[in-house]
Structure 1
Amino acid sequence: ITNQPQVTVTSYTISSTTTDWSSDVCDCCQDCGICLCGTFLPCLLACKVSQDFGESCCLPCLPGSMIALRTGIRGKYNIEGSICCDWVVMSCLAPCGLCQMAREMKSRQ
């Protein structure tokens, strides 16, 4: 035996750059079309957001699905936040949270 096995060390760097939402929760009037749809036809807007995210249009009909959708959007676009914050927004400010998700999907596409 003329060569000894060598140990190889590989290091990986994980980028954890987080961003913020493109608009605030209470910026509903930033896009009047989304604001009006979220106010008068929230079910339709929820289906649109769900489809834009790549999920079924029926997803918003399931209990808790809008919290999961918001968490999924945050994860996909690496937006800072937590599931607890998602729950608070979608429980207390559901129309505003829905409009924020719609604006985010529109700005990212």
Structure 2
Amino acid sequence: MNIKRFDFYTAPELCLEFGMRLKQQRLLKNLSQDELASKAGLGNSTIQRFEQGKGGTFENFLRIVMALGLSRELESLLMPAKNSIEEIINLQTSSQRQRASRKGKA
């Protein structure tokens, strides 16, 4: 199996790659574009655009993924940072907003 690395992809190239992968999954599940659109609560043209790599909204992407039964595959996409138990407890009890540190601070 040839798994592609996305390190050097542009956003349009990623859209095309994910569109092709969604289409492969749809075909593996023997669904037509109309059937997938109905399961996802979307229009047929939205499915067509995604499969052609023309993008769309993130919510629509998630609807397609869920309709294809691929939600579990998203779990490893952006894994939460591993914290110590003490850090997790502090985060849960803290009502203070967290911000990224400023770049260029001396």
TM-score, reference length from structure 1: 0.28
Return the structure number with greater helix share.
Answer: 1
User: Which has the bigger relative contact order, CA under 8 A and spacing at least 6?
Assistant: 1
Say which one has the larger Rg.
1
TM-score, reference length from structure 2: 0.28
